[in-house]
Structure 1
Amino acid sequence: MTDRDTRHRNSMQKLKTHVDERIAAANEQRGLLLVFTGNGKGKTTAAWGTVTRALGYGYRVGVVQFIKGQWECGERERLAEDPNLEVAIMATGFTWETQNRESDTRACREVWQQAERLLRDPDVYLVVLDEITYMLKFGYLDIATVERALRERPAEQTVIVTGRNAHRELIDMADTVTEMRDVKHAFDAGIQARRGIDY
């Protein structure tokens, strides 16, 4: 065995010891609050990936889509027939298309009622609040209302919040916050969003 091989083996053994110690120290079991935020692409896609994972284990999942719900969504189309998946969609679609604060607020609060029901249901393992950060930013929903529903949800339920500019109180509450950051984006070069890749 070469010196390099020996150094590599020793380094990997140290890493394994460190990882094993961290795994042993993680002994709490409960649902999580995950926030996927930032200006980069992939927040909703990451949430749908977790939805697929949970459904794969036979768990019940609820997805509430604010803003992009009326847009074509390959993940939603593929998973729609799963009896363990429930999807609620805000009726107005993109708020920058409607440009009507009153109707957008009403549509938001109607779909929020579905979210609240899911957040109270102990049989729902995972709830995704997709693009809800915009509802808070535009004032369609009050942060105290959302925060209360999240705090009062069943202990085993995990919630994923997606969207840019996540409210600081959501970030403070969260167990895990992932920030997607644009390094380079095809759209900036005039390339259209691609079906099956971007949506």
Structure 2
Amino acid sequence: MTEAELDARHAEKMRKKKAARDKILATKTIEKGLLVVHTGKGKGKSTAAFGMVFRALGHGLPVAVVQFVKGRMETGERKALEAFGDLVSLNTMGEGFTWETQDRQRDIAAARAAWEKAKALITSGRYKLVLLDELNIVLRYDYLPVDEVVAFLRDQKPADVHVIVTGRNAADELIEVADLVTEMTMVKHPFRSGVKGQIGIEF
């Protein structure tokens, strides 16, 4: 085939593809606040969630972040979020990873305080997107009852608020009620080759 014939065939193929896509899109009419879950052993769960946070901010939407596990160490995303002023409520309420505190009751108390803050932010009427970073971790360790969290997100989350939950080992009950679930799969990680966490990549 000549280049002109290849171009014409490509154009016709894309025309048909666009028509089929437009037909599908015309059936998608529901607008709602989504419950999004990022889970899996691969890197990128919180990173992808913060990408959605910045996307919302780019549209001028107020957002809130509650960090259930990560401690007070400075991270790039925290520094960047400070530039958005009142559009962001940033709440770092974790005590660090559970193996760092080595105090179950302290971790349970921190998780409960973070969850109460999260519920208040979600139902405040102010924020269009709320990120519950590493909530899956505290649920996995039974620091909060899974049934309580799932019931709230299913029954009390306002219909127009997006909520993102991150962390490994998402509970089956949470996956069941979520609108969007992504599982990050690890193929390769530099940590296994002795490379430490890098500024701008891990934090």
Contact 1:122 1:156 (C-alpha < 8 Å) held by counterparts: no
> Cα deviation per residue 1:141-174 (whole Å; 9 max; x = unaligned)?
1112111221211110000010111111111111
Structure 2 match to 1:106: 109
Alpha-carbon deviation of 1:197?
2.0
Aligned to 2:153: 150
Confirm whether residue 117 of structure 1 aligns to residue 117 of structure 2.
no
2:64 partner SS: strand
Q: Which residue of 2 aligns with 1:130?
A: 133
- The 5-angstrom pairing of residues 46-85 of structure 1 reads 46-82=48-84, 83-85=86-88
Instruction: Label 1:51 to 1:69 Cα distance change in 2 as closer, same or farther (>3 A).
Output: farther
Report the equivalent of 1:191: 195
Q: 1:91-134 deviations in whole A, cap 9, x for unaligned? A: 41111111111110011111111001012122210010101001
Question: Per the alignment, in what secondary structure is the counterpart of residue 159 of structure 1?
Answer: strand
Of 12-21 and 184-193, the range deviating more from structure 2: 12-21
Q: Is the 8 A contact 2:64 2:121 kept in 1?
A: yes
Q: Which moved more, 1:112-121 or 1:88-97?
A: 88-97
Tell me the distance in 2 between the aligned counterparts of 1:104 and 1:55.
31
1:37 shift after superposition: 0.7
1:13-52 equivalences under 5 Å are: 13-52=15-54
Q: Within 5 A, what are the aligned runs for 1:92-103?
A: 92-103=95-106
Letter in 1 for 2:132: L
Residue 186 of structure 2 is aligned to residue 182 of structure 1? yes
- Separation of aligned partners in 2, 1:58 and 1:67: 27
TM-score scaled by length of structure 2: 0.93
Where in structure 1 do 4 or more consecutive aligned residues deviate above 2 Å?
Answer: 1-7, 69-72
Sequence identity percentage: 46
Correspondence for 1:171: 175
**Partner-residue secondary structure (3-state), 2:26:** helix
Aligned length: 199
Structure 2, gaps ≥5 residues long:
none
Task: Give the match's secondary structure for 1:53.
Answer: helix
AA partner of residue 97 (structure 2): F
Q: RMSD of the TM alignment (CA)?
A: 1.4
Structure 1 CA distance for aligned equivalents of residues 71 and 13 of structure 2? 48
**Structure 1 alignment gaps of length 5 or more:** none
Q: TM-score when scaled to structure 1?
A: 0.94
- Classify 1:71/1:22 alpha carbon distance in 2 versus 1 (closer, same or farther; 3 Å): farther
- Asked if structure 2 preserves the Cα contact closer than 8 Å seen for 1:121 and 1:154, the reply is no
